[in-house]
Chains A and B, each alone.
Chain A
Amino acid sequence: MDEEPERAKRWEGGYERTWEVLKEDESGSLRASVEEILYQAKRKRVMETHGQVRLGMMRHLYVVIDCSRSMEDQDLKPNRLSSTLKVLHPPPTFSTSKGVGIITTKNKRAEKLTELAGNPKKHVAALRKAVDTVCAGEPSLYNALSLAVHTLKHMPGHTSREVLIVLSSLTTCDPSNIYELIKTLKSLKVRVSVIGLSAEVRVCTVLTRETGGFYHVILDESHFKELLMLHVKPPPASASSECSLIRMGFPQHCVASLSDQDAKPSFSMSQLDGDSPGLSLSGYFCPQCHAKYTELPVECKVCGLTLVSAPHLARSFHHLFPLQAFTESPVEQHTDRSCQGCQGRLKDRSVFSCPSCFSSFCMDCDLFIHDSLHCCPCCIHGPSVS
């Protein structure tokens, strides 16, 4: 056996008496202890921060969805495919991804559903249509990965190249040796992560370990959503990725009013893809070549300049300046019985205080602040906060 870090298996005592963790309350329901377990898992996610590590902020990500026969299984309601598509909608904003693309694999082949694009609208439309696809045949990991790598290897060196595979089948049908492909992936610095829907498959373990990604198998649908959220955070950048200054354009949205004599309706460059409504008076003009586009972010087809708007970059700032985890303390120590965030009463067992301003929050506010808000409501009242 090669030298692998074997996770503790059941017979080695790795999973000791899991039934003892669950306790019933007086009415016989397990709800309290299940909530406790979920809550601890969430807290762990908040506590785990990478510290001062350089993150790979610009990402090119391919999502591979398995459309094989095993996706028709009913263990996730209504069937695995619909459940996957439901979890992917609304599409989570992977932090400043310059592009996300979708690949599906079935019948031993792989095909690209959407190209790498920054704007999620196309992906949403494609996913909506994909609900009706017939799941048949076997997936092919080799074909899907080589299709992804075919595009990813041309991407510039300062971006991180990633593939996220949602695999439900326990088999894969490959035309040639997948271990050779794994070596190629490693040399091209592509990071592959897998979310398994059935059980742990050894090939995936090796794949993710060699390329530096994560491999998880889901327990249920909410766990699926949480695992997806795990990939939203930017991964630590590999040591050899180059850092460079990228030239970007920030176009203005120009709306010509109907009373302006000189305003001419014009086609936008997205017409070339064949799916835009036609002539329009308003749009974003590229600062370099004045080509018109209807939506951002986009890469200008004429001059190659990446066009973004400032909020797109601002969306990822909270990854660079993560909010500290709040300290937990029992509720008896606090005489003031209301939460500073939502003005409700503190009714849980523990109260969370921000380490810098010492204001207290209830558990719901704590989760909300760390998941969505990313800033403490009381700290930003200080006049010297930038």
Chain B
Amino acid sequence: MVMGNSHMAMTRTNKLAVIASHCQDSHFLYPMKNWGSSDGATDDASCSGDGKYELLSVTNNVIAEEMRNIMLKTEIKGNSTATLLAGSLAKALCYIHRVSKELAVGQEMKSRILVVKASEDCALQYMNFMNVIFAAQKQNILIDACVLDSDSGLLQQACDITGGLYLKIPQKVALAQYLLWVFLPDTEQRSQLVLPPPAHVDYRAACFCHQNLIEIGYVCSVCLSIFCKFSPICSTCQTAFKIQLPQMVKPKKKKLKQSI
């Protein structure tokens, strides 16, 4: 929340949105859905008496309230620990798209997404995740990642492709400090600062048959599935492949030399 406040305090026109993502759903913590209609009612309740910037106090209260609601209301079904990151990113992109369309003519807004992640990757989400990353790259939206627990290959790729920063925090106690130091500055200011070096991203593909990472593989030209060994039929699209046979070389008939 400290970081959210400082982001909004930096420039008057900065805007903020916070999404919570857990294993079943993702939910917009701020701003709330029926924001426009209930403005009058909440204003009295949240008027803070200590001279804080009005918007910041409203934000803090709303975020805390919604977080409490989510923790109380959701019942945990199943025991997967992976959060649905691709879905939350997709919703974030839709939101950014809407907000950038609502701008007045001539204004432009640079957006970035910061992901704070504590759980592991979900391997099933690979394709959706890649779709979301390419959509973000097309819209010039940076994706930064702040990882608390275990390294995430998907987020490393996302940060590398969109041009954002990936950081695995060594000391969890200093979370606020890392957020303010590394992720708060804009893209223009980042070139002036000395930030943690980019992580080495493993872009090798995994083969479809064994899920091993391979360096040289065979790609089916119809369905783009990757295999580690040559096989006459593609297992995904059932196409039979033409096997290149070695060319038969006909022995050249030697012309008999006529001895004169």
As a 0/1 sequence over residues 347 to 386 of chain A, the CB contacts with chain B under 8 angstroms (1 = contact) are: 0000000000000001011001100111101101101111
Measured between alpha carbons, how far is A139 from B46 in the docked complex, in Å?
70
Determine which of A310, A340, A342, A369 lies in contact with B204 in the assembled complex, contact meaning CB atoms within 8 Å: A310
B94 and A313 within 8 A (CB)? no
Alpha-carbon distance A364/B134, docked complex (angstroms): 19
Contact between chains at A378 and B87 (CB < 8 Å)? yes
A244, A253, A288: the one within 8 Å of B200 (CB): A253
Q: Bound complex: CA of A317 vs CA of B127, how far in Å? A: 8
User: B223 near A320 (CB under 8 angstroms)?
Assistant: yes
The verdict on A287 contacting chain B, using a C-beta distance below 8 Å, is yes
CA distance A251 to B203 in the complex (A): 8
Against A, the Cβ 8 Å flags (1 = close, 0 = not) of B130-143 are: 11111100110000
Residues in A with CB closer than 8 Å to B23 are 383
Residues 3-38 of A contacting B (Cβ, < 8 Å)? none
Q: How far is the CA of A287 from the CA of B25 in the complex (A)?
A: 42
Closest chain-B Cβ to A124's Cβ sits at a distance in Å of: 15
- B27 to A, closest residue via Cβ: A343
CB distance from B137 to the nearest CB of A (A): 10
What's the Cα separation between A253 and B157 when bound, in Å? Answer: 12
A21 vs chain B, min Cβ distance (A): 26
**A249 near B: Cβ within 8 Å?**
yes
- Would you call the interface of chain A mostly helix, strand, loop, or mixed? loop
Cβ of A255 < 8 Å from any Cβ of B? yes
A58 in contact (CB, < 8 A):
yes
B205 at the interface (CB under 8 A from A): yes
Beyond A57-B221, A243-B239, A342-B98, whether A251 also contacts B215 by CB under 8 A is: yes
Q: B97 an interface residue at 8 Å Cβ cutoff?
A: yes
Q: Return the CB mask of B55-89 against A: 1 if under 8 Å, else 0.
A: 00000000000000000000000101000101100
Q: Could you say which of B94, B99, B139, B221 contacts A341, with CB atoms under 8 Å apart?
A: B94
Minimum Cβ distance to chain A for residue B129 (Å):
9
Q: Does A316 contact B (CB under 8 A)?
A: yes
Query: CB-CB contacts of B219-235 with A at 8 A, as 1s and 0s?
Result: 11111101100110010
Partner of A383, one of B33, B78, B95, B222: B78
- Known contacts A96-B224, A343-B28; A375/B201 CB under 8 A: no
By a CB distance below 8 angstroms, the chain A residues around B139 are 372
Cross-chain contact A374 with B33 (CB below 8 angstroms): no
A323-360: which have CB < 8 Å to B? 338-345
Which of A313, A344, A372 is within 8 Å of B205, CB to CB? Answer: A313
CA distance A380 to B227 in the complex (A): 26
- Enumerate chain B residues within 8 angstroms of A159, measured Cβ to Cβ: 221
Contact-residue bracket for chain B = 35 or more
Is the pair B157, A311 in contact by a Cβ cutoff of 8 Å? yes
**Contact code string A246-265 (vs B, CB < 8 Å = 1, else 0):** 11111111010000000000
Is A301 engaged at the interface, CB distance under 8 Å to the other chain? no
A245 within 8 A of B: yes
In the complex, what's the smallest C-beta–C-beta distance from A127 to chain B, in angstroms? 19
Q: Chain A contact residues (Cβ within 8 angstroms of B): what range?
A: 35 or more
Q: Is the CB of A314 within 8 A of B127?
A: yes
CB neighbours of B161 from chain A (8 A) = 311
Contact indicator per residue, chain A 147-177, by CB within 8 Å of chain B (1) or not (0): 0000000000011000000000000000000
| A36–chain B nearest beta-carbon distance, Å | 18
**Of the residues A242, A246, A314, A316, contact of B218 by C-beta under 8 Å:** A246
Measured between beta carbons, the chain A residues less than 8 angstroms from B222 are 54-55, 57, 237, 243
Q: Does A309 contact B (CB under 8 A)?
A: yes
Is B187 in contact with chain A by the CB < 8 A criterion?
A: no
Give Cα distance in the complex from A21 to B241, angstroms: 52
For B130, the chain A residues whose CB sits under 8 A away are: 311, 314-315, 317
What are the nearest 4 A-B pairs in CB distance? A341-B94, A377-B90, A342-B98, A310-B205
Contact sample, A vs B, 27 pairs, CB 8 Å cutoff: A96-B224, A237-B222, A243-B240, A245-B220, A245-B230, A247-B218, A248-B217, A248-B219, A249-B215, A250-B216, A255-B200, A310-B203, A311-B133, A317-B131, A342-B98, A343-B33, A343-B95, A345-B36, A362-B98, A364-B98, A368-B97, A373-B90, A373-B93, A373-B132, A375-B86, A380-B90, A385-B124
Interface residues in chain B, defined as those with a beta carbon under 8 Å from any beta carbon in chain A: 23-26, 28, 31, 33-34, 36, 78, 80, 84, 86-87, 90-91, 93-95, 97-99, 101, 124-128, 130-135, 138-139, 157, 161, 200-205, 214-224, 226-227, 230-231, 234, 237, 239-242, 244
Q: Which A residues form the contact surface with B (CB < 8 A)?
A: 54-55, 57-58, 96, 158-159, 237, 242-253, 255, 287-288, 305, 309-311, 313-318, 320-321, 338-345, 362, 364-365, 368-369, 372-375, 377-378, 380-381, 383-386
